[in-house]
Structure 1
């Protein structure tokens, strides 16, 4: 993309967004999120007094939502210089972007990016010379490793927010091409057990209902993938009264789905039965040619994985004789054999494109992890250097986030007595 080609209203060296006049609206949205993110807000207060990130540049490629804004303001409160771009072409909230710019954060993001614009925005974050990177999906990390725009030796570490990105960075690590350590925030228990399950479960259903205006009850609902996101989607679809089918390639996950009461079968067989399909795997063409050929008239297709590759949209275009945009986020494909298939949100993240993404309450824990890991990375200067591979978040951070969330919810729990601690530490005790 050439420098003069940006199709936006507001552009300077420090930001390129849709319209800075939307800042007041964005400020209200962020205020709402802050009210529902007590753990991150508490960390922000600590950061304001401690300044643990002073002198650091933090580059972020995340969904530009009101929840992300709370994290960005927290990092800035900690003394960091912060730059942000979107991790998906259609997930940016333009009002939030405008408000962040007003708060002194560099933002290169607007809703509706084409591919060239998307990577141009990432390049602007690379040019901010980050010492710490925060990624969601792995595009930022991969771009740094295929670009000579910044010396990688200046990056002390990075974080990854989602399963798709973890898979990509694990692959980079195994192949020996990862040039700085990355911390798997996605794999913390306070992230995947809650964000992936409850957040994705609720927001995906919300996106489908908003886009399709459809009744879930009584429908046959096919969930492709039974990871933590798939578990959440299946659980919420069942709660709405759907008859849930799960498709899987992992025998253990498939067995778990069956034990949880769901029908389990191959996607090509499920395609004949389903009314609504959701992919949540992080893999390519999970809903592929045979499945698309087997689907009945009126089937609705959605994706909740990070990239728009889980549904074979190219083949859907190939078998369609006519394509009609019914309304925003709903496209009808009239196939050559007379069926009508409906693609939601262009095959991108339906929960962010057609809805507002995860609720603030659950993102509170995910972004608390991000903030505390950034602090932890900044404090490691005099410790043994981390290897250039994927690392787990220290257990003490995960536990601290859980403790703070319980406190914010007003929930008290038991603690071990001296006698109980001694019992757990002695192998001699038995029956």
Structure 2
């Protein structure tokens, strides 16, 4: 797949949006005014280091300046979106642990991006390709799944890269030491805050499973701890109710919470909230840090369910992909509920960060120019099923994917290594 072409009109649009003149943009990028004029006229194309500086000067990404669509990136487009020339990308690879062993060179990287044979034994094995995917993810600042998807779009005939397993971090002993250093009251506070945090997380998961949109984690992770008004008028927050059940009858945001915050187990936020009949009331909100969550899990014996290893997806996303793939040429109703399309659909980007997987697309059925749009599996989505069908069947045996697996096997001409 060739990279999406540069758009001169998009450059002019973004320069205007940022309020920059031709000379100002030229100085920011380190080129002449004539170079910018050539770019906007379409007679020359910025490449390599100049393109990266252009992205930083305009505070945008490559998708904004090119005719690209999120969820269809190639390896070259990922590098371009990171604002790196091929030589800079190789240096970024070499700086990472184990990266120099791959002998990263501009020529090899360009061969990789063009789908050509790379004359390096390490780059051609499943294990070596998997390690290279991880190095590219580190160099480009994107998740490994994004590089894996771009790799398969760029080099569909290659062996499937096999990502190395990450070594598990043993944080148990240090978390236990932190817990042991807390007094009884501080432990009670941390326990109650953790329990409320887990209840909120479970509620969000249930909403998503039922097709709801849910809220951003930055919103539901911050929980009401105390309202500074008579409880007979405003009641108790859910955390306060838990504390009272645990024997703490004067719950607030005093020394115990301050001690947890000093140990970086929680963060507190103070603001005001409007209460009917009382007007604005002071409020304290609390949020567990990752460290605080790890300490509570360790002390309470809560085993965190591990997510699927990259590039595999969660059960609910796999279920959606299977459903759309099973629909075949008929497609699925365009009103597909939930946030699944934000993570799976071409042109989407969950949270505005990394691109979606690009495994499904919303379009008219083949041969139709009018009428309702429907969801269809893309070639990238079908390839993902072929690549990892066995791993998914083992991971999520409750998801009935038998027919779609069979159809993908027939389409691929036989079994492939997952």
TM-score (norm 2): 0.26
The structure richer in strand per residue is: 1
TM-score (norm 1): 0.25
